[in-house]
Structure 1
Amino acid sequence: MNLDISKYTDEQGRDFFYIFRKKPGVRTLVIHFTAFFGDWGDRKEYKENYQGYFHRLKMLGDQREFNSLFLCDQFGFTKNGTYYTGEHGDFFVERAMLKMIQSILNENGISNQDLITIGSSMGATAALKFGLIFNAKGIVCISPHIDLDICAEKQGRYKHVAFICPDGDPMSENNFKYTRQVARLLNEWNRAKNLPILFIHSCEDDYGVHAEQVIPIVDRWKSLGGNVYADFRPTGGHGSDYCTKPVILDVIQKMIKKREIRPKEYLSYKYLPEVEKNYRNKMLFLLRSVLSKLRLLSLVRKIRSRFRDWN
């Protein structure tokens, strides 16, 4: 399949791959940052074939309401991502992303206030970081990794985060420049400017993320006067299935049209994952079958009763 992959090469000859889908007469740009590939994407044959894998391409790429830019980070430990930062203290991935994004904005006459960033896990780190750097209209975060030292310790990403740091120690406060980038951007935020609208989806059982990182950034965002729409679920773990395509597209549409996002609506049937819809449909079918049989049984009993009365 032709994925219309483009390539940017930096000054040191490193290649970065991206996909840009332009829609006629549309000003909004949605930038999606790919997360870690997962076990299947870690395998060498997939990396060589795909040169980076673009998550949610089918979900977002063909939407007519916005332009879309898909970015990925294939550097770092096992070539599986550096949280869109770089390696060994060199922010070369960040620099490349800044140049690619700015180039797309300039070439297509798109303003920062027509920009929405989105990602999950490592991709959400980038959505937050670059959404703040470019002062985007909105940021969509799904199960976000935010404080990378915590992710190193509690999310099994020690080697990935260590690869970013110049001395290989992801737990050192001396490396907060690399591991606490989002916190630094918020600490330096000019309060005369409005923060991007933040939609954040997280599950309470996502150990190392929800209580440790998501709740604090929601509080911090609000303390700086920002608007936050939180969609929290009791279960679902990391990479929750509950942030479905209908949820994501509704959030983006609400941001584009400057309408209020209502996370409680996403609890309704319309926004459920297909697996849960199928389960509910099956249970409903069984319930209806039981009720139907009960009504039939009740009817039979009434007929018998009347028959006895006649006799």
Structure 2
Amino acid sequence: MLSLADEIALNEKSLSGISYVFLPAKSATRKLVVCFGAMGKGGYSRISWYLQGKGDSRDSYLFLRDPTESYYCGTVGEETFATYSAIIEEAVHQSGVERRNVITVGNSMGGTAAIMFATLLRLGCAMATNPQIDFASAAMSKWGWLPRMRSAAPPFIEIDKLLKSSKHLPVIHAYVTSEAPDITAVKVLTDCMEEIGGTLMVHRQEDQEHKTSCPTVEDIEKVAFGLGMHR
């Protein structure tokens, strides 16, 4: 049996220096799940679940990471948003799914990216845990989010401003634990979505720390079923 590292090496590809792992469905695809990694070790979030068989063979999965910790946008002069977008677009094409049947998933920086890409690429749903939404709440954190957000290249802007300026609003499921910056950020997101008439479901978690495993495989499946992606 291959190790996780060997499995990743076997499936990993790259485009313009950006690495990714795409696991296509083994039959007609019901949905595409795009998983964005968080800050830290720069790894692929949730990939162990799916390489170990916890996914569904009728679904496709795309795993992305951003070792530069620049919110999947890069910095001025070294922009990466277009490359990540191209990778996602190709996964959508290869999966043969409608955009409404694409779910983006991520925690922290990955959660921010999940909302951003679902909005800008007109995808169906974003599932984001403790995402960074605005500069003010990010400034409350000890993790150094604010300077990374400020240095990220366009099209990165604060998520509430992005949503207010967008013609497309994905369904958003936000998972939040009990650290003050995360609670404040989700409150900003809630106020924003109420103002613009978007669809937002907030799931409060008992975890006391920023890092959490939500949303789980079961959470993703439940949301997809509720949105009619399994018909």
Structure with greater strand percent? 2
Counterpart among 10, 28, 33 of residue 31 in structure 2: 28
What residue in structure 2 maps to residue 280 of structure 1?
none
Structure 2 portions without partners, runs of 5+ = 1-5
1:17 is aligned to 19
Distance 2:11 2:19 in 1: 7
Match of 1:54? 44
Q: Distance in 2 between matches of 1:163 and 1:216?
A: 18
1:229 CA drift (Å): 1.3
Counterparts of 1:90 and 1:181 in 2: how far apart (Å)? 20
Q: 1:109 and 1:58 mapped to 2: Cα distance?
A: 24
Instruction: Give the alignment's TM-score, normalised by structure 2.
Output: 0.82
> In 2 relative to 1, CA 85–155 (structure 1 residues): closer, same or farther, beyond 3 Å?
farther
Which position in structure 2 is the counterpart of 1:142?
129
- 2:161 aligns with 184
> How many pairs were matched up?
221
d(CA) in 1 for partners of 2:78, 2:134: 17
Over 6 Å off, 4+ runs: none
Matches within 5 A, 1:49-88: 52-61=42-51, 62=53, 63-64=55-56, 65-75=58-68, 81-87=69-75
Gaps of 5+ in 1: 42-51, 76-80, 167-176, 260-311
- What is the percentage of aligned positions where both structures have the same residue? 21
Whole-Å separation in 2 of the counterparts to 1:179 and 1:207: 23
Distance in 2 (alpha carbons) for counterparts of 1:132 and 1:17:
22
Q: Which shifted more, 27-36 or 239-248?
A: 239-248
Give the Cα separation in 2 of the matches to 1:163 and 1:226.
26
The question of 1:239 aligning with 2:211 is answered yes
CA distance in 1, matches of 2:229, 2:90: 25
Aligned to 1:297: none
Structure 1's 102 and 244: CA in aligned 2 closer, same or farther, altered over 3 A? closer
Bigger helix share: 1
CA displacement 1:230-275 (0-9 Å, x = unmatched): 111465221235644433432333334489xxxxxxxxxxxxxxxx
Task: Please identify the structure whose Cα radius of gyration is greater.
Answer: 1
1:73 and 1:93 in contact (8 A); partners too: no
Q: Secondary structure at the match of 1:82?
A: coil
1:99-248 aligned within 5 A: 99-148=86-135, 150-157=137-144, 161=148, 164=151, 180-190=157-167, 195-203=169-177, 205-211=178-184, 213-233=185-205, 235-240=207-212, 243-248=215-220
Quote the Cα distance in structure 2 between the aligned partners of 1:114 and 1:241: 23
Deviation at 1:182, TM superposition (A): 1.9
Q: Of the two structures, which has the highest relative contact order with CA contacts closer than 8 Å and spacing of 6 or more?
A: 2
